[in-house]
A and B are shown apart, each in its own frame.
Chain A
Amino acid sequence: MELFHEPKIDWMGTKWYFIGASLLLLLVGMTSIAIHRGLVYGIDFRGGTLVYVKFAKAPNLDSIRTALDTQGIRNATLQRYGSPADQTVIIGLDLQATTSSGEIDIGKRAIARALASLQGTAPPDKLDFNNASPQTVAERLLAADPLHQASVGLEAVTKTYRELAEAIVSFRNSPPRSGLIADFQQLSVVPGVNAAVLSALQNDSYLSSYAIRNTQIVGPKVGGDLRRQAVYVTLAGLAAMLIYIWFRFELIYGIAAVVATFHDVLITLGFFSLLNKEITLTVIAALLTLVGYSMNDTIVVFDRIRENVRLNRRENFVDLVNRSINQTLSRTILTSGLTFLTVLALFLFGGEVIHGFSFALVVGVIVGTYSSIYIASPIVVFFQQRGGRSPVGEKPKPLARETAGARR
């Protein structure tokens, strides 16, 4: 099976339509960033507090907000997370509320108090089981000693209860419970848990209707440092690529490749702004991967152009570029297609945490492929047409196999 049997498409002839489309996309994206919605920064960059809370019953945002109000938290953002079945809410506080009194976890503690107040009065001295760590559960079990192990020796007993607690908590954390159990009886399937253990747990702890699954607190200094770093990293990536391609080909090829990649990054950022998606540290990582990937594509086309120039010096450069693209088309579409398949799998099945990352790559792979044909190559063509001479790629460091293969 073959997708493209010797295509003979005139790419450079239709380039203006596509360059125009690119410019339009860029314009829309940049306008959105500059004027309309701006870039939504994730908490890594803007600082603040985020607390992810899973509820036993479908959470009522209004009652949560009221509870927060009573603790003095006025401007919290409430957002649902994941699917409705997850019953998880993200409570967010902005930077000012986080740092107003010096200790960065003031906001988190206030949220914890608000959640506890939602619960109603908690029985004093009892352990909040759904929010307890294995160590705490182990300590309580050790004190209660439902398995009557006291005679065995302190170290062995501690180990027994520690392993039991870890099994219990691990069971609690795995799906579909995902951190919350509604009834102690659910624990009876855990190996090692018998009626005595259950009743010890029941006497000593209570089951709250919420579990805090994740907290993130970023102070102003860290946020600012990361913002600066992100810019440096992206610029460093582009610079490294420019140098590498300059080294392997010629300066104009390097510039063309960098411009194409820069165009990819800008369009991707534009999409983030248009769809109001958050830019987090992992998104920056995705953008850098995109830089590397976009270069790949461009290099494959440039490789072929260089090979063809060496074989047919007299050929019209525009025709040569068209031919090179046609020759590599199969490979370009296939690779992009396959990478897109995997990135799509990541986007659809990878979960919330990686969502921004996979979205950046989904957009980036498409744009990156098309930019090698319609941004990078035309730039090289323009240069040649203005300069008058056909840019011959510098011979790379001789690799015996390649030179041997060129002499067919």
Chain B
Amino acid sequence: MDKKLQRKFIFIAVVIVVCILGIISFPRNFQQLKENVRNRIRLGLDLKGGTHLILQVQVEDAVNITTDQTLERLRDELKAKNIPYADIRKTDSTHILLQNVAQEKSGDLEVLVRDQFPDWDLARVPGDPASRALSLKVAASGTIRNNALQQAMSTIRNRIDQLGVSEPTIAEYGQGDYEMVIQLPGVDDPTRVKDIMQSTALLELKLVQDGPYPSREAGLAARGGILPPDAELLPGPVAASSAGSTGGETWYLLNRVAAVTGRDLSSAEVSRDLNGRPSVNFTLTRDGAARFSRVTGQNVGKLLAIVLDRRVVDAPVIQSQISDRGEITGGFTPQKAQDLALVLRSGALPASIKYLSETTVGPSLGADSIRHGVMASLVGLLAVMAFMLVYYKGSGINANLALILNMVILIAALAYFGAVLTVPGIAGVILTVGMGVDSNVLIFERIREELRNGKAVGNAVVGGFEHAFVTIIDTHVTTIVSAAILFTFGTGPIRGFAVTLTIGLLANLFTSVFVSRAIFDFVLSRRQHGEALSI
């Protein structure tokens, strides 16, 4: 065998070894071999089992919160700058209306808005010369929405990490509607995970002005029917029936502004309270601790409400000045306490989320799919190989060797790239067999034609490969272009198909042209002069 051919075969041997190592690594026994294969090849959700969720971040919530906060700030600034007005209210998520601003102060108002509220535009209200409207700039609202999406994504990622799900996928999805896709392999009951992800976890500690009241109306009545601007009414825990009162929600009148919020938490842990029931202990950051100690120091003996997601969980008495830690109790099961600590640690969601789709594949279905896929692949492969042997005789062996190597390279590439194998992906492997063998057919048919036209065997082989090459490239390119389009527009399982088909066809270029040619050259070099080529 001449040198060039020898080098070719050494190269092919190296490729084979690298591929086999990629698939099975260095197993010490059969059991380990199976395990290595299972670890090296990443299975998609539809084969391994797991949950796939699509959710939408309700970014308008974040815009609303910003407008609310701006309104409060504006109220304070107007008082500080001595600008009188009749009424201030929010008209929609991005607009604030100021009514009856004193005429001589309108200049000051413009300066104030320009300096202190750069994200807002001030405009006159048509038909009402004394009023002004503030509207949130489009760029600013866009930034708020995008930030809400990014922050929600990182908070959710944080929570999922803490849950210990292996290899989750969390990514943006779709075209600009603030959607996210989440894949959780191995999670076949998503209820708990969904609840944890969805929990807004807004923690606020507020001083109690008055309460508890048995109903919202009672609370309002105690203040003459109107809430003072610095207070709000929030529902609390459901009270057990006792003598003199029927059980029901209790309501508290609280300070509107919180002494401490979830942002001031530095950590949260599960623990047990004095009665041995599960509770959550939290510690505060330095700033939070300073504020907390001031508030508690000034209000010993008063009630401090612990508000979670706008509901009072507990309202213990402030026994003494507390600086940097606190405890939340409230009838938690161990699981609920754990989940609450988890959610507090990860931070609050800037906006609520809504689930748009949910798919859970049980692992037994996945196992079935694997079984079917492997069987179909083997049947397909054997059928094709048998045909090639019968139709092309000796050269059929050539084609079959190339085909087997094609499969090996494809599977090894999946392992090396960490590409995910899905149910359509297995179909892609099978299609590679069918389409890949086409290359060999093209070459062999052309060789037969050249032989029919009287060429010598050596020239016929060369001619066959040359003529067929362009068509092979053409056919592979068109299929790969289809696959590329599928990859861009498709979701997980379909991407798996596009990837396996593409890699399979690229590997096929190598095996049908380079490897098949090497084998032919080898056969020719061994052949006696005048002997016919078995094709």
Please list the residues of chain A having a beta carbon within 8 angstroms of any beta carbon in chain B: 1-3, 52, 54, 102-105, 108, 131, 133-134, 169-170, 172-175, 177-179, 211-219, 221-222, 225, 229, 232-233, 236-237, 240-241, 244, 248, 281-282, 284-285, 288-289, 291-293, 295-296, 299-300, 303, 327, 330-331, 334-335, 337-343, 345-346, 348-351, 353-354, 357-358, 361, 396, 399, 401-402, 404-405, 408
Contact = CB atoms under 8 A, between A and B. Distances in A.
Contact of B474 (A240, A299, A345, A351): A299
Interface in B44-95: 46, 54, 56
Contacts of A340: 434
Given A292-B478, A349-B376, A354-B426, 6 more contacts: A133-B188, A217-B359, A222-B357, A299-B474, A343-B431, A345-B379
A341 B368 contact: no
B390 interface: yes
Contacts of A179: 362, 364-365
Given A103-B355, A133-B187, A299-B478, A214 B466 contact: no
Nearest to A233: B489
A240 B481 contact: yes
B308 interface: no
Given A233-B485, A288-B486, A338 B441 contact: yes
Contacts of A3: 391
A338 B489 contact: no
B362 A212 contact: yes
29 contacts: A3-B391, A104-B355, A104-B358, A169-B363, A179-B364, A179-B365, A215-B358, A215-B359, A221-B56, A237-B481, A237-B482, A244-B481, A285-B486, A289-B431, A289-B482, A292-B478, A331-B445, A335-B437, A339-B434, A339-B438, A341-B384, A348-B376, A349-B372, A353-B365, A354-B426, A354-B427, A396-B470, A401-B466, A404-B466
A6 to B, nearest CB: 8
Contacts of A361: 431
B427 A346 contact: yes
B165 to A, nearest CB: 10
A289 B489 CA distance: 14
B375 A349 contact: yes
Contacts of B470: 303, 396, 399, 401-402
Contact of B380 (A221, A330, A346): A346
B442 A345 contact: no
A353 B427 CA distance: 11
B482 A291 contact: yes
Contact of B356 (A212, A221, A291): A221
B435 A339 contact: yes
A236 B489 contact: yes
A383 B308 CA distance: 75
A216 B359 contact: yes
A173 B367 contact: yes
A240 B485 contact: yes
B189 interface: yes
Nearest to B189: A133
B369 A292 contact: no
Contacts of B445: 330-331, 334
A212 B372 CA distance: 20
B424 A285 contact: yes
Interface centre among A178, A212, A353 (most CB of B within 10 A): A353
B358 A338 contact: no
Interface in B371-426: 371-373, 375-377, 379-381, 383-384, 387, 390-391, 393, 423-424, 426
A214 B361 contact: yes
A342 B427 CA distance: 10
A341 B380 contact: yes
B485 A173 contact: no
Given A339-B438, A350-B372, A350-B427, A296 B391 contact: no
Interface string B15-32: 000000000000000000
Contact of A173 (B364, B437, B449, B482): B364
A173 B373 CA distance: 17
A402 B467 contact: yes
The 4 lowest CB-CB distance pairs between A and B, nearest first, are A351-B372, A292-B482, A342-B434, A179-B364
Given A342-B431, A351-B368, A401-B466, A295 B478 contact: yes
B477 interface: yes
A241 B364 contact: no
B117 to A, nearest CB: 35
Given A295-B478, A331-B441, A405-B467, A341 B383 contact: yes
A111 to B, nearest CB: 13
B355 A353 contact: no
Contacts of A353: 46, 365, 369, 372, 423
A303 B474 contact: yes
B30 to A, nearest CB: 15
A3 B423 CA distance: 35
Contacts of B434: 338-343
A84 B387 CA distance: 34
Nearest to A225: B174
A281 B498 CA distance: 13
B331 interface: no
A345 B435 contact: no
Contacts of A178: 364, 367-368
A63 B123 CA distance: 66
A350 B373 contact: yes
A292 B483 contact: yes
Given A342-B384, A342-B431, A402 B469 contact: yes
